[in-house]
Amino acid sequence: MELLTALYNSALSTWIREAETVWAFPTILTVHTFGMMLLVGCAWVMDLRLLGVGRTIPIGPMRPLFRIMWFAFWINFASGILLFIADPQRKAASMLFWSKMALIIINLPLIRRLERAVYRNTPEPTVVSGGVRRLAAASAALWAGTIFTGRLLGYM
Amino acid sequence: MSELITPGNLSHLHLLLNHFPTVGLIVAFALLVVSILSDSEAMKHDTMRPTALGVLFAIAVLTLPVFTTGLAAEGAIEKLPGVSKAAMDSHEDSALLAFVVLEFAGASAWFGLWRWRRTRRIPPALTILTFVLSAVSLGLMTVAASLGGDIRHPEILADPGTAGAKSMFSMSAAGVAFFVNGRGHQWVWPTLESAHFVGMTLWFGVLLLANLRLMGWFRAIPYPSLHRLLPWALLGFGVNEVSGMMFYIATPKGYTTNVVFYWKLIFLLLAATDLLYLTVWPQAWKTDVGTPTHVRERVIGAAALCTFVAVMYCGRMLPFLGNSF
């Protein structure tokens, strides 16, 4: 708790929270939103295809979407840490915040497993196994939960 | 641009734009009717009917700024002598119902175009649905336009005693506002915000991949296969339009006086144009496996991606730039 208070009183935290400039809190929040739409947008397109929407789309060439997702994840990891630094005590005391973290921590290895499972046998898969479909559905649902908990954090 | 956001200018804009859902809708409806009555196969399947559907979709999109400038116009004239709040409310409520039905007509027209691109045929059921929805919205728009005229032109009323009377063909904006903001409904706004983010992520993901393909990436994917995903982008837009309009109706003053909101509307109209382009553009449809793309498609794709980010930026920055909330 003392650590969180020290963090709250740090120059960086104060600047993000209180600076009278659009480049502080508003811009960090917007970057976080940009990362979200890139990460979850690509994830949902991949999941939709694996769940059987647009069966004529070849799955092999969609693989770079996973790289875009990881790129966007690191944007949000960094911007998310800055948002936490701006308001550490309330975030750390919030069930919503820890629910959001839990959803992400479950989802990240799921995405790793999903990519491996899809491309395990061939770089040009044509059939999607039941296991892959379940992984895709679970990951898509976890992203929806992450968006809800994250968005509700703004109203706690 | 902020010096242009005056109540007077917005009122003027409302009076200019309201020709789209009235006069424009009559033109689109007439094109659709002629294409249905015509014996010509070309008019049914190649020329007039797809044109009618495209115009209808465009009018459904352009009606968004008509509705949103309406509440700004109310702010401009509400204190003038002889202007009745009741007359403005009955105009707003009838316009809201007409707007909702027109948006469904626009979505139905879009589905017709989407099927047409794939099969060169518009399914009869979609044609009938579009015809019915656009006919109903035309009738409702006529009521809304007539009630709108009464606000500043009481001389056109047959019986001045009826000024401000509610039309039976309306949807209560006050009811929507109560649902979003009313006592005991604290959960509604945050839930709608979450849905707004879900919808944005959905349309952005689909349109990102489609535009990247036309910009020359993902060349091993034939564009027509990505075309199958476009209804999910429309679904995302739909979720966002419903949630966004609910925010707007609940707290109009946070938006009507905020210049960032008008920027967002402009970028939104451009984003809808990109959806129409991705749906029907012949060069896009011909983009097969390995087909390199023309510099024109690359420029359009890059501009579209910037537009999407701009829509998000203006929305996210609404509370921070400008003066709302």
Q: Would you mind telling me the total number of residues written for chain A in this entry?
A: 156
pLDDT at B75: 84
Same domain for B90 and B195?
no
Cβ count near A55 (within 10 Å): 11
Q: What is the number of structural domains in chain B?
A: 2
Mean pLDDT over each residue of chain B, to the nearest integer: 93
Pick the range with the lowest mean pLDDT from A86-100, A135-149, B78-92, B184-198: B78-92
Pick the range with the lowest mean pLDDT from A1-10, B145-154, B305-314: B145-154
Q: Among residues B199, B200, B208, which one has the least CA distance to residue B314?
A: B200
Cβ count near A136 (within 10 Å): 25
Same domain for B295 and B178?
yes
Task: Answer for the pair B16, B65: CB distance below 8 angstroms, yes or no.
Answer: no
Quick: pLDDT tens for B230-289: 999 999 999 999 999 999 999 998 898 889 999 999 999 999 999 999 999 999 999 999
Q: Among residues B256, B268, B252, B240, which one has the least CA distance to residue B322?
A: B256
Confidence class for position B160, pLDDT limits 50, 70, 90? low
Residue B1 has pLDDT above 80, yes or no: no
What does the pLDDT average to over B83-96?
Answer: 92
Same domain for B324 and B210?
yes
How far is residue B87's CA from residue A127's CA, in Å, rounded to a whole number?
61
Q: If phi over 0 gives left and psi between -120 and 50 gives alpha, with beta otherwise, what is residue A19? A: beta
Same domain for B231 and B320?
yes
Token readout for B322 is 């400008």
Residue B58 has pLDDT above 90, yes or no: yes
How far is residue B19's CA from residue B32's CA, in Å, rounded to a whole number?
18
Residue A48 has pLDDT above 80, yes or no: yes
3-state secondary structure string, chain A?
CHHHHHHHHCHHHHHHHHCCCCCCHHHHHHHHHHHHHHHHHHHHHHHHHHCCCCCCCCCHHHCHHHHHHHHHHHHHHHHHHHHHHHCHHHHHCCHHHHHHHHHHHHHHHHHHHHHHHHCCCCCCCCCCCHHHHHHHHHHHHHHHHHHHHHHHHCCC
pLDDT at B163: 67
How far is residue B233's CA from residue B248's CA, in Å, rounded to a whole number?
22
Quick: pLDDT tens for B277-314: 999 999 999 999 988 889 999 999 999 999 999 999 99
> Structural domain of residue B41, as residue ranges?
1-171
Q: Would you mind telling me the total number of residues written for chain B in this entry?
A: 325
Q: Among residues B111, B30, B82, B43, which one has the least CA distance to residue B276?
A: B111
Same domain for B65 and B196?
no
Same domain for B189 and B91?
no
Residue B154 has pLDDT above 90, yes or no: no
Quick: pLDDT tens for B19-32: 999 999 999 999 99
pLDDT at B166: 81
Which one has a higher pLDDT value, A46 or B43?
A: A46
Output the CA angle A81-B322-A32, nearest 5 degrees: 20
Q: Does A141 touch chain B (CB under 8 A)?
A: no
Interchain proximity B206–A155, CB inside 8 Å: no
Same domain for B167 and B127?
yes
Same domain for B112 and B246?
no
Q: Choose the closest CB to A151 out of B193, B222, B225.
A: B193
Dihedral sign from CA coordinates of B242, B246, B252, B255:
negative
What does the pLDDT average to over B134-150?
Answer: 94
pLDDT at B28: 97
Interchain proximity B190–A48, CB inside 8 Å: no
How far is residue A91's CA from residue A93's CA, in Å, rounded to a whole number?
5
pLDDT at B80: 87
What does the pLDDT average to over A147-154?
Answer: 95
How far is residue B121's CA from residue B115's CA, in Å, rounded to a whole number?
7
Cα(first)–Cα(last) distance of chain B, in Å?
A: 20
Same domain for B160 and B190?
no
Give me the residue spans of the domains in chain A: 2-153
Instruction: Kindly provide the ipTM of the predicted complex, given to two decimals.
Output: 0.96
Task: Answer for the pair B322, B259: CB distance below 8 angstroms, yes or no.
Answer: yes
3-state secondary structure string, B178-237?
HHHHCCCCCCHHHHHHHHHHHHHHHHHHHHHHHHHHHCCCCCCCCHHHHHCCHHHHHHHH
Q: What are phi and psi of B164, to 5 degrees?
A: 85, 0
DSSP conformation letters of B127-192: HHHHHHHHHHHHHHHHHHHHHHHHHH-GGG-SSGGGTTPPPSS---HHHHHHHHHSTT-TTHHHHH
Same domain for B51 and B185?
no
Interchain proximity B232–A53, CB inside 8 Å: yes
* Closest CA in chain B for residue A41: B205
Same domain for B85 and B222?
no
Same domain for B145 and B112?
yes
Which one has a higher pLDDT value, A115 or A1?
A: A115
Q: Distance from B240 to chain A by nearest Cα, in Å?
A: 14
Judging contacts by C-beta atoms under 8 Å, the chain A residues touching residue B206 are 41, 45
How far is residue A100's CA from residue A91's CA, in Å, rounded to a whole number?
11
Q: What are phi and psi of B269, to 5 degrees?
A: -65, -40
Interchain proximity B220–A147, CB inside 8 Å: no
How far is residue B146's CA from residue B166's CA, in Å, rounded to a whole number?
12
Chains A and B: how many Cβ contacts under 8 Å? 100
